[in-house]
Amino acid sequence: MLENYLEINPEVKKALEENVPVVALESTIISHGMPYPENIKMAKTVENIIRENGAIPATIAILNGKLKVGLNEDELEYLGKSDCILKTSRRDLPFIISKKLDGATTVASTMIIANLAGIKVFATGGIGGVHRGAQETFDISADLTELSKTNVAVVCAGAKSILDIGLTLEYLETHGVPVVGFKTEEFPAFYTRKSGFKVDYKVESAKELALAIKSKWDLNLNGGIVIGNPIPKEFEMDYNAINKAIEDALKEADEKGIKGKETTPFLLDKIKSITSGKSLKSNIQLVYNNAKVAADLSVELSKLYK
């Protein structure tokens, strides 16, 4: 039955059958998180980085209602250029599929599709979370509930301070999702290495991480794991400048009445303009940095699952 929905490209399929490490990548970051043409350049480079580090990349998206695992160049170009690609989270999947539409997958839906395909590791930029003011708006990303039930490890650069990082970590704790710092004790805040919040566990290597993940899943402690990998120092943004930009972007979103799934793309675009493109440069570099750690992790996990 799954074959009616899932289209895994031959290279990824073969890798999965032969226990060759595979890393999943999301597509909302391409269609809604970065402008053209930087988005396509980023998408291709990130795939190369994963290959250089011993794993096969599998960018995930929905094209013509099919769940695609592994895209070719034309498909990547299309996702980056077209403005008819719908941002697709868990609740959107049934309709994007049955109406044969094109969808860019968020962290939540990428995890779902990666898991259906048998991919255990996923690299992205930042996860969604509890938005500031969620006490009133209830705006909590479906990424967090997905992390509580779907067995995929997500390597990210933390959560942006467009979110309430403290509440995001509390929510993850309630749902039993481990939050790990990769060579750091502090949960990173995407554009900056520090957020002011501690992680639950610090790991020093991909091997140490793989051992913890395997024990979690061996014991049927279902759900994902968040690996916070800080942006490299040389690409980090100035703490005060980025937080001022975020405050201004949040104020404008509020004045314009931006809500729901539009919120994150709107804020990212505003922050980019306010920082004259500096935030985009940092965003791209932190994704590259996550791809490397995710590839190393998938290599270590594939040894344990032999």
Please pick, among 13, 68, 120, 160, the residue that the annotation labels catalytic: 160
Question: 142 labelled as ligand-binding?
Answer: yes
Residue nearest to ligand PSU (CB): 33
Known catalytic membership, residue 160: yes
Cα–Cα dist 237/190, whole Å: 9
262 included as an active-site residue: no
User: Which residues partner with 7 through β-bridges?
Assistant: 68
Q: Report the nearest approach of ligand PSU to the CB of residue 117 (Å).
A: 18
Chosen from ligand PSU, Mn ion, none, partner binding at 216 (C-beta under 5 to 8 Å by type): none
What are the start-end ranges of the E strands in the chain? Answer: 6-8, 22-25, 56-63, 66-69, 86-88, 103-105, 121-123, 153-156, 179-182, 201-203, 225-228
Residue 14 CB, shortest distance to ligand PSU, in Å, is: 28
C-alpha to C-alpha distance for 201 and 69, rounded to whole angstroms? 31
- What residue 33 binds from ligand PSU, Mn ion, none (CB within 5 to 8 A, per partner kind)? ligand PSU
Among 47, 102, 139, 146, binds Mn ion (CB under 5 A): 139
Amino acid at 32: H
Rounded Cα distance, 207 and 303, in Å:
10
Residue 128: CB minimum distance to Mn ion, A: 7
29 binds, among Mn ion, ligand PSU, none (CB under 5 to 8 A by kind): ligand PSU
Burial 242-268 (b: 16+ CB within 10 A, else e): beebbeebbeebeeeebeebebbbbbb
* Contact assessment for residue 105 and residue 143, using Cβ atoms and an 8 Å cutoff: no
199 labelled ligand-binding: no
141 labelled ligand-binding: yes
Residue among 26, 47, 236, 300 flagged as catalytic: 26
Closest approach, Cβ 264 to ligand PSU, in A, equals 4
Is 87 annotated in some ligand binding site? yes
Residues with active-site annotation:
26, 160
Give the residue ranges of the annotated binding site for substrate. 87, 107, 141-143
